[in-house]
Chains A and B, each alone.
Chain A
Amino acid sequence: MLKSYVGKNVCKVDAQDKVTGQALYPDDIYFEDMLYLKIKRATHPHAYLRRIDTGKAEKLTGVVKIITAADIPQVKNFGLIIKDQPVLVGVGQKMRYMGDALAIVIAESKEVASQAVKLIEVEVEELEVISDPLRAMEKDAPLIHQDSNVLATHYLKKGDIKKGFTQADIIAENEYRTSTLDHVPLQVEAGVGIYDKKSGVIKLWVATQWLHDTQADIAQSLGLSKEKIRIIQPVIGGAFGKKEDISVHLHLALAAMETKRPVKLTYSREESMIAQSKRHPFIIRMKTGVTNKGYLTACQVEVIGDTGAYASSGPAVVHKGMYHCTGPYNVDNVSGVAYTVYTNNTYCGAMRGFGTTQMAFAYESQMDILAHQLGINPVQFRLQNAYDIGSSTPNSQRLTHSVGVKETIKGAAVMAAWKEGSP
């Protein structure tokens, strides 16, 4: 039956508000009597905090309160998969990257809050900074957290990898590297919080990609029931994975409870880039085997994903990348290992493609290299190896329906008028 609305180019429901400036993004929200927050960040990427002195900052006119870890002993760590990230680093504790928060300054204006942050005095005991995941994996490397710097190791084994390479006539073996990326959403981390004395509910207007999960993480960190945390989704100015993690939420909640006044916190772009999650840089070592006739026989991969100072989605990202190591091609023999590694870099989390974006750079470069070595047209090479219904993925998931990969190859080639013999 013909459909009325599905498959039609219906105008986006939020388009008018956005183009006319009516849409309320978190930083647009304003309340009378509102206070402004600014976060004092780590002064060293890897160091023990030995002393923090907020005395001078507190004396500045317009500063209402400065919260340090000593004020919130009951507050617990947070994190999407592992609760390894502190709300505030306390004296005697470690800062693990430049985005770690040391204090929350609450002031009558943004300007005063920024000035006050500069007046906070900090003494640290510096440790070796680990910026390279390969160094982090060495036996003598200092531990960034309590346990190993290798946060997670995942494996992939399908078929017989030795046999696969024996069957191969040509083998390509290369190392690929991808860079640390920021999502660069137009809207940086921002929000407003209000504490309702009567109900004890903290209301937060903060963009999040997963309302109820963020609510749960805030609640467990503050030791409150979920009902006491109400998140109202403002209009979101882009996310791409960067708004899955906690950012301003807990600091807003603590400041709202402390002052009983509306509070606002908006990151600068610089703060957003330094403090909030990144796309994992990957080191990918890939070995791919193919017969003279151009059929893939084996794929072996080693992945090292630098997850930075905290886990975030890291343990899920790095191995999801590995699980996609063959791309949409039939390969009977697959073997892989993926390491998710802590360093003192900005922590990495979810970003569009979740590890598979990095992996595609490796497997599709390999396909191109092999096509050239074989002297086969790269379109033909992909077509003859691509999945069909009944194919099985590196995880041995049998594909039972909706496998249109060959149609995408043919479709793109037809559109681009890819001729036989052209690259």
Chain B
Amino acid sequence: MKKRGRGIATIMFGFGYGEGFPDHSIASAEIEEEGKILIRTAAADVGQGILTTISQISAEVLKVKPEAIQIIPGDTHLTKNSGSSSATRQTFFTGNAVKEASEGLLSNIYHYASIEFRSNHVELGIKGGYIFRKDNPNNQLSYWELAERVKARGDNLKAESSFFPHTDKPDPETGQGEKLYVAYTFVTQIIDLEVNTDTGIVEVLKVYTAADIGKAINPKNVEGQIEGGTVQGIGMALMEEQIIKEGITLNPDLTGYLIPTSMDTPHFITRLIENEDSEGPYGAKGIGEPATIATAPAIANAIYDAIGVRIYDLPITPEKILKALKEKVKFTSEGWLGL
């Protein structure tokens, strides 16, 4: 028989290394060859899309198309430390560093253009990589022309910035501290699923996710993170386990270690809560890790709702479900329930 159930889980995640660890990110922005602006960062794009995020932020600040933003791919000898792509920190840390570096570059564009145009900053306008006097928009200079003139003055049109927020080391006896993490992301998931009581197989049907992420720099990427994280969470909840007996892994391959496939992927309904109230760029918070955390408990709770048995050890395999159902029947028939 197939039985339906629904479960909910709400989670928090303090992101950044926190705990007083010197967590920072350095980035620079400079006018490159014709039509390009170069961003230097060591932030690793592991597929989450940080390089896209960076190009959007820099394009926003400098009022050019994202295609104009060129990013030096990570290279220890061409970039400075941007910290790791972990701890859900890159959008917040490198995003802020890139935003500030881009703002620094923009300030210098204004500064040098005001010399070229013999004007005040307020009299200058900026559009699509050009700077001009508002009273005579036809007299304009491209960023790249301006860069040439700045070079002729023996200077460079570039800016470097960093983001280095403070956190506190927790007291070793109590774990207490004023500010352990830079900020928290919150996620709630409601999951609908079906348990086959003959086979013990669970099919996850629908996943409703509401995530407090401050601001989505790229909503599609955020949804992608949530969907990918949830599928990874389904694996943790229902099937994944590296079985190590006496130090020996018994299933070191994808025949013995199952992960979800597209056939296990549920229908997603996602809402992004965007209060733009964090210290991240444009109010953004991180979503990388929080995207996976609520799934396993929401599934465990939904299974309880469906069949009235609670599993306390992951993964909740068909074998565990069938065993638990058997025991439940035994208890019920012997009248142990309701005592």
Q: Most chain-A Cβ atoms within 10 A of its Cβ — which of B175, B269, B273? A: B175
User: Which range contains the number of B residues in contact with the other chain?
Assistant: 35 or more
Docked Cα-Cα span, A6 to B95, in Å, equals 11
- Give the contacting residue for B310; candidates A3, A226, A365, A410; CB below 8 A: A365
Interface pair A8/B10, CB less than 8 Å apart = no
Q: Most chain-B Cβ atoms within 10 A of its Cβ — which of A178, A279, A395? A: A395
Which residues does chain B contribute within 8 Å of A382, judged by CB atoms?
8, 10, 188
Q: Most chain-A Cβ atoms within 10 A of its Cβ — which of B42, B79, B277? A: B42
Interface pair A131/B245, CB less than 8 Å apart = yes
Interface pair B12/A270, CB less than 8 Å apart = no
Interface pair B212/A404, CB less than 8 Å apart = yes
Which residues does chain A contribute within 8 Å of B173, judged by CB atoms?
155, 157
Which residues does chain B contribute within 8 Å of A5, judged by CB atoms?
56-57, 59-60, 65-66
Docked Cα-Cα span, A284 to B271, in Å, equals 31
Check if B200 is an interface residue, CB within 8 A of chain A.
no
Check if A54 is an interface residue, CB within 8 A of chain B.
no
Which residues does chain B contribute within 8 Å of A413, judged by CB atoms?
8, 190
Which residues does chain A contribute within 8 Å of B314, judged by CB atoms?
177-179, 361
Interface pair B211/A241, CB less than 8 Å apart = no
Of B67-75, B111-119, B157-165, B324-332, the stretch lying at the interface with chain A is B67-75
Docked Cα-Cα span, A256 to B23, in Å, equals 33
Interface pair A395/B176, CB less than 8 Å apart = yes
In angstroms, how far is the closest chain A Cβ from the Cβ of B332? 17
- Give the contacting residue for B44; candidates A176, A209, A365; CB below 8 A: A209
Number of interface residues of A (CB under 8 A): 120
B245-274 vs A, CB cutoff 8 Å, 1 = contact: the mask equals 111110011100101000000000101010
Q: Decide yes or no: A10 and B278 within 8 Å by CB, A181-B240, A211-B42, A397-B178 being known contacts.
A: no
Of B27-35, B80-88, B129-137, B144-152, the stretch lying at the interface with chain A is B80-88
Interface pair B76/A408, CB less than 8 Å apart = no
Which residues does chain B contribute within 8 Å of A3, judged by CB atoms?
60, 282
Interface pair A270/B252, CB less than 8 Å apart = yes
Check if A61 is an interface residue, CB within 8 A of chain B.
no
Interface pair B296/A360, CB less than 8 Å apart = yes
Interface pair B56/A361, CB less than 8 Å apart = no
Interface pair B52/A12, CB less than 8 Å apart = yes
Interface pair A244/B174, CB less than 8 Å apart = no
Which residues does chain B contribute within 8 Å of A344, judged by CB atoms?
247
Which residues does chain B contribute within 8 Å of A208, judged by CB atoms?
44
Docked Cα-Cα span, A320 to B84, in Å, equals 17
Which B residues, 284 to 333, have Cβ-Cβ distances below 8 Å to chain A? 285, 288-294, 296-298, 300-301, 304-305, 310, 312-315
B209-220 vs A, CB cutoff 8 Å, 1 = contact: the mask equals 111101111111
Interface pair A408/B211, CB less than 8 Å apart = yes
Docked Cα-Cα span, A13 to B67, in Å, equals 8
Which B residues, 204 to 247, have Cβ-Cβ distances below 8 Å to chain A? 206, 208-212, 214-221, 229, 232-233, 235-236, 240-247
Interface pair B46/A239, CB less than 8 Å apart = yes
Interface pair A6/B249, CB less than 8 Å apart = no
In angstroms, how far is the closest chain B Cβ from the Cβ of A326? 9
- Give the contacting residue for A209; candidates B6, B46, B214, B304; CB below 8 A: B46
Interface pair B190/A416, CB less than 8 Å apart = yes
Which A residues, 376 to 423, have Cβ-Cβ distances below 8 Å to chain B? 378-379, 382, 386-387, 393-399, 401-405, 407-413, 415-416, 418, 422-423
Since A215-B76, A364-B298, A412-B8 are in contact, a sample of 8 more A-B pairs with Cβ atoms closer than 8 Å, ordered by chain A residue number, is: A6-B60, A175-B312, A323-B180, A324-B13, A368-B304, A395-B175, A396-B178, A401-B277
Could you list 13 A-B pairs, sorted by A, with CB under 8 Å?
Answer: A10-B55, A13-B66, A155-B173, A158-B176, A174-B312, A209-B86, A352-B289, A357-B292, A357-B293, A360-B297, A387-B12, A407-B210, A422-B6
Residues of A within 8 A of B (CB): 3-14, 44-46, 97-98, 129-131, 154-158, 174-182, 184, 207-213, 215, 226-227, 229-233, 236-241, 243-244, 269-270, 273-274, 278-279, 316, 319-320, 322-324, 327-328, 336, 343-346, 350, 352-354, 356-357, 360-361, 363-365, 367-369, 378-379, 382, 386-387, 393-399, 401-405, 407-413, 415-416, 418, 422-423
| The 9 A-B residue pairs with the shortest CB-CB distance in the complex, in nearest-first order | A45-B247, A404-B212, A233-B74, A411-B210, A364-B297, A210-B84, A179-B241, A328-B12, A177-B313
